[in-house]
Every structure is written in C-alpha cells, then in structure tokens.
C-alpha cells in the first residue's frame, strides 16, 4: 500500500511538472533574458536630478504670496506633507500637498489663484527650459500610455507629450492640470524596455492600467511557476545518481535536451526557486510588508510643529540661485531647503533668506521626538555604505545619520546631516523585505556589492543557467506536443524519456 502511494505521488509529481512546465517555460525564458536587460536599462522615471535640471531659477521678485497665505488658499489646517516653490515657465508657483491623499494643489505665487489647467503653448514653454530642449514640439495629449500607465500619474492626467527634438529622442510628459513635468523618456529607454521591464513585469498597458487586476494576474502566474520550480528540482534530485550510477555510468538517465534540462535544473534550481519566490513576494501578498515613506505622525513629531505656518512674508531673497524652495519645520525650527539646478541643497531662513546650518545635536534632538511613544536607542553616522544603506537601485546620500527607536516595529530613520531631511524610514518588516527581495532577486549581497563586477558576473552566470533550463524545457515541451499519440501502449511516467542527441 505504501509503495503504491509513493508511486502514485511520483506519477502526479511528474505529470504536474511536465504539463505546467510546458505552459510556463516561455515565461521562465522571458524572465531570465529580460532580467539581464533590466540590469542596465531601468523603466523610465523622472529622477529628482532630472526634474531640478529642467526648472528655471526662481524669480523672487515676482513672488507676492507668502507660504502661509498659500497654505490658507489650499485649505491646509495642519502642517502639510509638502510645500514647495518653483517656476512654471515665468510664473512662480507653490505646490501644496496634504496628508489626505488628495492631488497636489498648484497656486500662483503672484496673485494666489489656483492653477488647475494649462494650455499646450504653456506646456511647450515649460519644456523649453529642459537642458536637452532643441525644438520642443507637441506630439500628443495622453490620457494613459505605456510609460505613464501607473496610478501615481492619475492626479496629473491628462499629460502633454512633448518631443524635445534632441539626438536622444527625449520626450517629456507635462501635466495639463498643474504644469509639472511628470516623466521623461529617451528613445533608448523606450526600445530596450520592450525587451526588459515590460515583459519581465508583465506590464502591457491594457493589463497594467487596472492595478488590482494586474497584481492578481502576476501573483497567480508567479505562484504557478513556483510550483514548476519546486517540482522540477524535486524530480531532478529523484533522478540523480551520484553513487549508484546508471548502466551507462552517467549520473542522469537522460540524453540530449532532457540531460541539459536535468543537469542545468539541478545546478540552478535553488536560484530559480529563490528568484521566483522573491519576485512573488515583491507584490506584497497579503500585505505582509509595511509601506514605505515617512508617515504623518513621524513628520509631525520630527518637525516639532503642527500649525500651518512657515513665514507670513519675505523680507529678502536668498543669495543662492535656487530652482526650488521647500518650506519645512525641523525640531521647532522653520527652514527653507534650497535646491539649485545641479541638485545641491542648502538651508536658509524662509523670511530673511539668510543661510542656516543645523548641528548634529539639533538634528538628533529633533529625531528623539520623531516616533510617537518610542525612545531613541541608537544614533550613528554612516560614512560608507552598509547592508541597508547602499547605492545600486537609487542614489544614496553619504554620510548619513541613522537613528533607531524601541517601538514595536524597531523603526530606523536615515537623516541627512547636512539639511536634517529624513531621507528614508525603515522597520523590521522593510529590512526583512530587503533580504527576501533585494538580496534574493537582485543579488544585493554586501560582498557582491563591494566588488563592483562580481555581482554582474554572478547574475549573468546564473541567468545563463536559468535560460538553459527554460529553453531546453521549451524544446522538450514542443517535441512532446508534436509527438503522435501512442496506440495501445502504456508508458510509465517514471520511465526516463531518452532524447536523441
């Protein structure tokens, strides 16, 4: 009875792997090849550096509305999530964001009017300030396309698509509502992403425009592929003979493509499984991992202030040629963070424009009140990258202050020692995600990160093994589907299929 159950279990193991594998091997091959492309060409996004480079210097002489008045016009009753001043072509504007998830409100700093629509000629003028602008031309008015498909662009839609006429084929997306530059893409990004991120993430517009549906589809597909990876590795071990070899003296009973599939699957099986598992986890099934970003409670605690006031008026403008000014409170100090077009940031008094510096002690004193109901239990300065603060997917400021707290989530805050800005929030959940996703999926292991080419070499080798497993599976599956049904002949599913070399 026991042997019969074992044989029946093995039979279903082989059947499940064979037929689900035939259906999914194309997906596996696609993921391995597209993943290599993604190492070098990321999905298009607008970085802070690109955004700041496209902004003109603030004309302080035109600013007639003070930050406090702008917040009152926006209906802010508490300290806002974000308040910044920049130029929209030749008009200084405030952009005010609350904590309720509503769209950013754009307010003219000249007359206080709320701006909720801009004309195409205004969008062209905004695009003309981009450093790559040669002959800006309106290409289309886009509601949603492949590069602006995600929900984060919803508050900015529709978008004016503007070609800059440069050699790189740069295209800008300018919000028809607020005049903000939402995104930029280049010809190279657009071409390579059809071989990289789009197939890898299963990201066609028709599916990705419905976020919950896309997430469910990818979760189910990757879950099924996990079954293929587990059953395949299990079968590979069952069919492997290292000590009591087969009659031919081989460790595998297979030949040809089946042998390639068997041996490559054993060599790369663990990595195939961990890549599939970590990719599945990236969709945060069941809300297992906490969200990102600074919460309102932490922002308010760190600011030491919850009233909607910064400065009632400007006495003089700062000497820094800033393209953007952010108005904040830190530890009870009202401050203005100034960014120039190169991304250099400095602090100034928002009323007088006089340069300001925050000491390390002042920053740490503000951080002590950042996490409600928790005490700070550590504070250290990182001068070099470590396992949780490193540059690979995103630029990271160094040195950086890391402060830890004794709350249930074991929160960490990474804070700029120059400006006092909270750069990142991390907790136990996000740090677990760092190992379960970034380490397992992108191989962001500290040793590989320290040796620059090592990570690329390892990823290429493992991806090559995974591609061999996938392509051999495609060939085997295709041959099986083409094979004519055998008449009246019963073949044990446990019997090895010997392919011709």
51's tokens: 């955004």
What is the rounded CA–CA span in Å between residue 350 and residue 348?
A: 6
Residue 335: CB atoms within 10 Å: 22
Sorted by sequence, the CB contacts under 8 Å of residue 55 that are 6+ apart come out as: 86, 87, 129, 323, 324, 341
Q: Which of 345, 336, 352 is nearest to 417 (CA)?
A: 345
φ/ψ of 123, rounded to 5, equals -60, -40
CA-to-CA separations, 319 to 82, 143, 330, 340, 348, in angstroms, rounded = 23, 40, 22, 11, 10
Q: What is the pLDDT of residues 190-246, one digit of tens each?
A: 999 999 999 999 999 999 999 999 999 999 999 999 998 888 888 888 888 888 888
Query: Domain residue spans in the chain?
Result: 48-189
Who wins on pLDDT, 253 or 247?
253
% of the chain exceeding 70 in pLDDT: 96
pLDDT at 1: 65
pLDDT at 484: 55
What is the rounded CA–CA span in Å between residue 474 and residue 30?
A: 11
Is residue 248 pLDDT above 80, yes or no? no
Helix 211-238, helix 2-38: angle, nearest 10: 130
User: Residue 57, SS3?
Assistant: coil
Q: For residue 413, what are the β-bridge partners?
A: 403, 425
Reply yes or no: is the peptide bond before residue 399 cis, omega within 30 of 0: yes
Q: What does pTM read for this prediction?
A: 0.88
Q: What is the pLDDT of residues 334-383, one digit of tens each?
A: 999 999 999 899 999 999 999 999 999 999 999 999 999 999 999 999 99
**Which H/E stretch holds residue 433?**
helix 428-433
Question: CB of 338 within 8 A of CB of 322?
Answer: yes
Question: CB of 417 within 8 A of CB of 400?
Answer: yes
Report the largest interatomic distance among the alpha carbons of the chain, rounded to a whole angstrom.
96
Pairing state of beta strands 171-175 and 181-185? antiparallel
User: Residue 354, SS3?
Assistant: coil
Residue 359: CB atoms within 10 Å: 10
Q: What is the pLDDT of residues 469-493, one digit of tens each?
A: 999 989 888 888 887 554 444 444 4
First to last CA, the chain: 39
CA-to-CA separations, 69 to 46, 84, 311, in angstroms, rounded = 30, 13, 9
pLDDT at 51: 95
57's tokens: 């210097």
pLDDT at 496: 47
321's tokens: 């040629």
């Amino acid at each position: 009875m026991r042997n019969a159950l074992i044989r029946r279990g093995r039979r279903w193991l082989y059947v499940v792997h064979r037929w689900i594998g035939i259906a999914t091997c194309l997906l596996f091959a696609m993921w391995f090849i597209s993943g290599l492309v993604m190492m070098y060409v990321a999905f298009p996004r607008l970085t802070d550096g690109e955004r700041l480079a496209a902004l003109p210097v603030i004309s302080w002489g035109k600013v007639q509305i003070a930050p406090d008045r702008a917040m009152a016009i926006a209906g802010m009753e508490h300290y806002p999530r974000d308040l910044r001043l920049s130029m929209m072509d030749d008009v200084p504007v405030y952009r005010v964001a609350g904590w309720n998830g509503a769209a950013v409100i754009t307010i003219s700093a000249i007359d206080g009017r709320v701006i909720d629509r801009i004309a195409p000629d205004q969008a062209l003028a905004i695009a003309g300030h981009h450093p790559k602008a040669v002959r800006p031309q309106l290409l289309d008015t886009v509601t949603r396309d492949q590069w602006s498909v995600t929900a984060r662009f919803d508050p900015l839609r529709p978008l004016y698509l503007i070609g800059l006429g440069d050699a790189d084929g740069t295209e800008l997306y300018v919000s028809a509502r607020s005049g903000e530059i939402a995104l930029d893409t280049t010809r190279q990004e657009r071409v390579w992403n059809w071989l990289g991120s789009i197939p890898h993430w299963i990201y066609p517009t028709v599916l990705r425009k419905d976020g919950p549906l896309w997430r469910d589809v990818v979760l189910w597909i990757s879950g099924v592929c996990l079954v293929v990876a587990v059953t395949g590795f299990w079968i590979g071990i069952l069919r492997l003979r290292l000590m009591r070899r087969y009659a031919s003296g081989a460790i595998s009973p297979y030949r040809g493509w089946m042998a390639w599939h068997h041996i490559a699957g054993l060599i790369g099986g663990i990595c195939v499984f961990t890549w599939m598992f970590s990719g599945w986890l990236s969709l945060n099934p069941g809300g297992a991992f906490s969200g990102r970003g600074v919460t309102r409670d932490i922002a308010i605690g760190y600011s030491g202030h919850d009233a909607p006031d910064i400065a009632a008026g400007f006495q003089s403008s700062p000497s820094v040629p800033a393209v953007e000014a952010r108005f904040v409170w830190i530890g009870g100090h009202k401050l203005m963070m100034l960014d120039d077009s190169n991304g250099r940031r400095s602090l100034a008094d928002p009323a007088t424009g006089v340069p300001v510096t925050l000491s390390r002690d002042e920053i740490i004193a503000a951080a002590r009140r950042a996490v409600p109901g928790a005490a700070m239990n550590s504070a250290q300065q990182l001068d070099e990258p470590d396992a949780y603060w490193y540059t690979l997917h995103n630029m990271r400021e160094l040195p950086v202050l890391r402060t830890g707290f004794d709350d249930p989530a074991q929160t960490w805050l990474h804070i700029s020692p120059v400006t006092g800005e909270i750069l990142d929030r991390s907790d136990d959940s996000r740090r677990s995600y760092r190992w379960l996703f970034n380490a397992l999926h992108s191989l962001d292991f500290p040793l590989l990160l320290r040796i620059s080419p090592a990570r690329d070499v390892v990823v290429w080798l493992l991806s090559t093994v995974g591609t061999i497993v996938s392509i051999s599976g495609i060939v085997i599956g295709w041959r099986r589907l083409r094979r004519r049904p055998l008449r009246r002949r019963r073949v044990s599913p446990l019997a090895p299929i010997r392919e011709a070399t």
